[in-house]
Structure 1
């Protein structure tokens, strides 16, 4: 009975890291090897880290956006805008220098 519980736990764990399937399909591991590793070392072993790298999905993006400090972001954009205005002011001044008349400009 304990083994069935471990298999169910392993299946649930593997569903959280769908990229592990690629290594099984490519022949790097078999499901049996992964299951044995899971039973021996657990789901927190470093072996699983490459499979746990964050995958950006809509809910992940929404969580990031939800936690953004809009006031700080607004101040950052204001600062960037000021820098761009300053730089563009120099560029415009350079372009508006009076041109020296050439002998053919009558």
Structure 2
């Protein structure tokens, strides 16, 4: 079997991962992907401070998550306050028109049945294989 030759930067990244096993944990826990880590490594280099913070679990991160949830709610409330009712009405009208157009197209493809009843299947001959006797 022939093995594909890897790009030199990929080989260097593999060596970097071997020296930093916390990167493997990051990928396994779903916090990052190999592609993201490789791109950051390629752009930032091995000496960046970002690599020192990987894999550190401290209680301040949990506290920040609780605070960020509160900040998220307050930011949504702030956005609701900033909304212009006329602009929202225009967006809703545009959405309604788009949905109406989509419904019209779908009804054309389904065969518009104005009676609203069910579509009857076409009746074929009662004996589809009619053989004549010689």
Larger radius of gyration: 2
TM-score range, shorter chain: 0.3 to 0.5
Task: Determine which structure has the larger helix proportion and give its number.
Answer: 1
TM-score (structure 1 length as normaliser): 0.44
TM-score (structure 2 length as normaliser): 0.35
Query: Bigger relative contact order, structure 1 or 2, given CA contacts below 8 A and separation 6+?
Result: 1
